[in-house]
Structure 1
Amino acid sequence: MEAAAAGLQEAAPVALKFEFNPKLGIDNPVLSLAEDRGPSDVWLCPERPRFCLLSKEEGGSFGFHLQQELGGARHVVCRVEPGTSAQRQGLREGDRILGVNRHAVEQEALEAVARLIRASGPRVLLAVVAGPALDTARAQQGDGALLCPTLGPGVRPRLCHIVRDEGGFGFSVTHEHQGSFWLVLSPGGAAERAGVPPGARLLEVNGVGVETLTHSQLSRRLWQSGEQVTLLVAAPEVEEQCRQRGMPLAAPLAEGWALPTRPRCLHLEKGPQGFGFLLREEKGLGGHLGQFLWEVDPGLPADKAGMQAGDRLVAVAGESVEGLGHEETVSRIRAQGSRVALTVVDPKADRFFRMVRLSPLLFLESAEAPASPQSTRSASGAETEDPPGADTALPRAPRGSRQCCLYPGPGGGYGFRLSYVASGPRLSISQVTPGGSAARAGLQQGDEILEVNGRPVDGEDDVDRLHQLAEAEPPLCLKLGARSPRGWSGL
């Protein structure tokens, strides 16, 4: 395929295509850049990344083609489809993609960038810069400098689910003009308990932007929400951070607070007869095709891992399968071998994330630790379709154990430290970084590590092995024992 912009003659062929049907809706205005840009606007501040929030509807895509330059890690937009979200939001041929949502991707492989875009679902925020400007910035700052601004944990917009109580939703609304709203919280009210920060700016109500609403229209939407409402909000410090970085207050950057439901990551290990479930392609919410899990055999690994009949499969081994056909999805599951990680949503979660127009995979990292043995845990057993294998069942998990799956944070770490003691629990959590991946997954100081990615922990060598796993492909899955009342000395 020929290059789409000058200077890209040596670029690799287009590896991925993202399309968008212009007949399907428009972008959410509150999360978009104010207006489409003219061609000359791209060069007003060429050394600073531009942010393009792209939207798509079910079955569509974003409207651009992406390729990677030979001999480099630069991800080049080689074609933008006319009339699409990509064109309306200012994406240009020759732009280099520096960030996807909250991830800097300048040093990532093309496939990794594609996975992040697919996992973003209906909306994705791209940080881009024109090719010549990137070359100039690299010459000034060096190839190792990262040019993509990011927001750290705790300094992002929040997606907060509020359940009405006897005091209502627990907030009132102030405004300066149409589309600009701030929340005043009632002390101890429902909104405060749901994580809405003081003085928060209101961005969305149930997945719909408020930028074009009058105060009366907003009041009507809140009243129509009934007994619960989901708000996208930004604290004053988040607004300031985004302003300084030139970033929009975009929903794909959001952290989930008190959400009514979450995606579930199920870890299965095949036994002599397989996994114990059937996968079917059928129409789900809104008549859209998806891959659904059915005929979960009682007592077999899928059942033990917490799979429920009617769950929809959204990812295999952390990679989105949204939009894939049945045969390709099955192939990806089988390619994982005897151990597979499946990310699923039940019908309630499916309805929620479709309402807010965000992928459940954006909230997998911050998923809370399971509250019961049925939530997320490893299992072994059988699947009705596969031939018998040589695998055997793992020992039953100790009473009170739980499974936590971690994904690295923005700095690449998981946010915890280990300690090893020759007697008693040998490997335990000595420190958990507040707000980090480990803290959000429910790890606590003193937790004993029983298994790492399905392998039992039984010796001093496991410390080195766990540090090596920190550099492996995520997620890092730990089986944890109950907290020990004793403290442990760090290594």
Structure 2
Amino acid sequence: MDLVPTLGARLLIQLWRQLQVSRRRLPSPYVWLCPERPRFCLLSKEEGGSFGFHLQQELGGARHVVCRVEPGTSAQRQGLREGDRILGVNRHAVEQEALEAVARLIRASGPRVLLAVVAGPALDTARAQQGDGALLCPTLGPGVRPRLCHIVRDEGGFGFSVTHEHQGSFWLVLSPGGAAERAGVPPGARLLEVNGVGVETLTHSQLSRRLWQSGEQVTLLVAAPEVEEQCRQRGMPLAAPLAEGWALPTRPRCLHLEKGPQGFGFLLREEKGLGGHLGQFLWEVDPGLPADKAGMQAGDRLVAVAGESVEGLGHEETVSRIRAQGSRVALTVVDPKADRFFRMVRLSPLLFLESAEAPASPQSTRSASGAETEDPPGADTALPRAPRGSRQCCLYPGPGGGYGFRLSYVASGPRLSISQVTPGGSAARAGLQQGDEILEVNGRPVDGEDDVDRLHQLAEAEPPLCLKLGARSPRGWSGL
């Protein structure tokens, strides 16, 4: 592989860039419709950590409001602010989505997520001027996104050379018919990452060393010239969570199982996987039973149930989510090779699973709701308060079999409320807070003292336990 830019390659790159600068362009349709472009925040988190912000949904609307940003976190460092409205998650516009669906997309994004946000006043101004149908979230269509390309060296090497103008700016010159071209690298592509590591801070010699250390295979995140131009016009970063996969060595698998007379035919076990991190692994796949027929392999790691990520969940809660699907369930799994690959590139395997493969069932949608619907805080505290909002939370028992909260009954005022929430328990993860009033239990209204006994009986029944809550405190959050 030749890493020394040739004179011809350098001239081609410079000519292309001059043409892009000199072209006269009309503003994109988005510019005409919105006085202020969204900001894009690329957040990252460590294993077992969070992105560092909390969401709430405005009452009577589909606007998702950042209601708290944790100090010292990725969210704060990337400029996310309290009061920002989230318009997009990765490549999805989410303005009209329910809050639980938005939270599900963020959690399924894995260690990195790209958020399109706009300050509340700017959004209100745009809505007032253009109406609710205004185009506020720019997106990239299929085929016009960065590419994640896996290249296997052949007798001609990786099939590309690298040219650059200054530190961190690299472009690829392809060998016709070479390994890079066959792996889907487009002509004139800008190089963004090598094996999950950004190149923006690398010198040419450091990049050369990384490519050499890759051995016989390398995974590149690249952007074609037209993709770079589309992102420039929309003010979007060339971010990895936007990528589409080309010639990847492995992908996640979606297994559709229907329970037979002898069950599904596999064992789910919690154990340490790559890097010593706990995960849910599939073992003892019985020959001829539904799991085996669906293509399950011993040692697969479970990453989603009915399209919803189970990363970070404990064993009991994961089992409950599988059982909640009934006799038919869709499981998204990765084998050890796929697990190593997606951890290396620091992207969730769910980003590379066709959405049609694992549609979220009503049960999975309900189980995701730990997000809250509340009145937005008023700018003037002297104004009369709007009626209190309510929210739905569906809980699954934790490892000890409990839901992680205690009840309080009062004859006057709110009859049944949450008196204590166990930190880290199922109730805490679903967003229950001390003082929340219980309005309904599994669809039945709460109106008497005997509801305490009835709630305890329901807690022992088949999960999930679905509560309709009215918050007594002025704010509530869904942490992400």
Cα deviation, residue 288, structure 1: 0.5
With 411-420 and 336-345 compared, the bigger mean Cα shift is at: 411-420
Cα deviation, residue 422, structure 1: 68
Contact 2:431 2:478 in 1 (8 A): no
Cα deviation, residue 140, structure 1: 1.1
Deviation per CA, 1:230-263: give whole Å up to 9, x if none.
0000000000000000000000000000000000
Cα distance in 2 for partners of 1:475, 1:225 equals 47
Matched residue of 1:388: which SS?
A: coil
Cα distance in 2 for partners of 1:413, 1:424 equals 27
**Residues 90 and 162 of structure 1: CA distance in aligned 2, closer, same or farther (over 3 Å):** same
**Residues 111 and 422 of structure 1: CA distance in aligned 2, closer, same or farther (over 3 Å):** closer
Partner of 2:221: 232
Equivalent pairs, count: 468
Cα deviation, residue 48, structure 1: 1.2
**Residues 274 and 417 of structure 1: CA distance in aligned 2, closer, same or farther (over 3 Å):** same
Cα deviation, residue 475, structure 1: 22
Which of 80, 86, 91 is the matching residue for 2:69? 80
Contact 2:55 2:371 in 1 (8 A): no
Cα distance in 1 for partners of 2:205, 2:99 equals 46
Cα deviation, residue 365, structure 1: 1.3
Matched residue of 1:367: which SS?
A: helix
Deviation per CA, 1:269-309: give whole Å up to 9, x if none.
00112100010111100000110001100111101100000
Contact 1:278 1:294 in 2 (8 A): yes
Cα deviation, residue 474, structure 1: 23
Cα deviation, residue 47, structure 1: 2.1
Deviation per CA, 1:406-457: give whole Å up to 9, x if none.
9999999999999999999999999999999999999999999999999999
Cα distance in 1 for partners of 2:382, 2:262 equals 11
Cα distance in 2 for partners of 1:298, 1:468 equals 39
With 273-282 and 248-257 compared, the bigger mean Cα shift is at: 273-282
Deviation per CA, 1:91-140: give whole Å up to 9, x if none.
00000000000000000000100110011000000000000110000011
Cα distance in 2 for partners of 1:430, 1:172 equals 64
Partner of 2:437: 448
With 399-408 and 359-368 compared, the bigger mean Cα shift is at: 399-408
Cα distance in 1 for partners of 2:260, 2:194 equals 46
Cα deviation, residue 315, structure 1: 0.3
Is 1:64 paired with 2:47? no
**Residues 92 and 406 of structure 1: CA distance in aligned 2, closer, same or farther (over 3 Å):** closer
Matched residue of 1:382: which SS?
A: coil
Cα distance in 2 for partners of 1:189, 1:256 equals 19
Matched residue of 1:220: which SS?
A: helix
Cα deviation, residue 39, structure 1: 27
Contact 2:302 2:332 in 1 (8 A): yes
What 5-or-longer segments of structure 1 have no aligned partner? 1-17, 26-30
Cα distance in 2 for partners of 1:376, 1:136 equals 32
Matched residue of 1:191: which SS?
A: helix
Cα distance in 2 for partners of 1:403, 1:281 equals 29
Matched residue of 1:395: which SS?
A: coil
Cα deviation, residue 199, structure 1: 0.1
Cα distance in 2 for partners of 1:324, 1:237 equals 40
Contact 2:373 2:390 in 1 (8 A): no
Q: TM-score by structure 1 length?
A: 0.67
With 91-100 and 427-436 compared, the bigger mean Cα shift is at: 427-436
Contact 2:2 2:162 in 1 (8 A): no
Partner of 1:35: 23
Cα deviation, residue 66, structure 1: 0.6
**Residues 384 and 158 of structure 1: CA distance in aligned 2, closer, same or farther (over 3 Å):** closer
**Residues 376 and 325 of structure 1: CA distance in aligned 2, closer, same or farther (over 3 Å):** closer
Cα distance in 2 for partners of 1:24, 1:322 equals 49
Cα deviation, residue 81, structure 1: 0.5
With 73-82 and 479-488 compared, the bigger mean Cα shift is at: 479-488
Deviation per CA, 1:179-205: give whole Å up to 9, x if none.
000000000000000000000000000
**Residues 290 and 337 of structure 1: CA distance in aligned 2, closer, same or farther (over 3 Å):** same
With 378-387 and 337-346 compared, the bigger mean Cα shift is at: 378-387
**Residues 32 and 240 of structure 1: CA distance in aligned 2, closer, same or farther (over 3 Å):** closer
Larger radius of gyration: 2
Cα distance in 2 for partners of 1:304, 1:189 equals 38
Deviation per CA, 1:2-43: give whole Å up to 9, x if none.
xxxxxxxxxxxxxxxx99999999xxxxx9999999999x99
Matched residue of 1:139: which SS?
A: helix
Cα deviation, residue 217, structure 1: 0.5
User: Which structure is higher in RCO with an 8 Å CA cutoff and minimum separation 6?
Assistant: 2
Deviation per CA, 1:148-168: give whole Å up to 9, x if none.
000000000000000000000
What 5-or-longer segments of structure 2 have no aligned partner? 9-18
**Residues 367 and 434 of structure 1: CA distance in aligned 2, closer, same or farther (over 3 Å):** farther
Aligned-CA RMSD value: 19.2
With 357-366 and 82-91 compared, the bigger mean Cα shift is at: 357-366
Cα distance in 2 for partners of 1:435, 1:152 equals 39
**Residues 403 and 228 of structure 1: CA distance in aligned 2, closer, same or farther (over 3 Å):** farther
With 335-344 and 376-385 compared, the bigger mean Cα shift is at: 376-385
With 414-423 and 226-235 compared, the bigger mean Cα shift is at: 414-423
Which of 290, 295, 302 is the matching residue for 2:284? 295
Cα deviation, residue 348, structure 1: 0.1
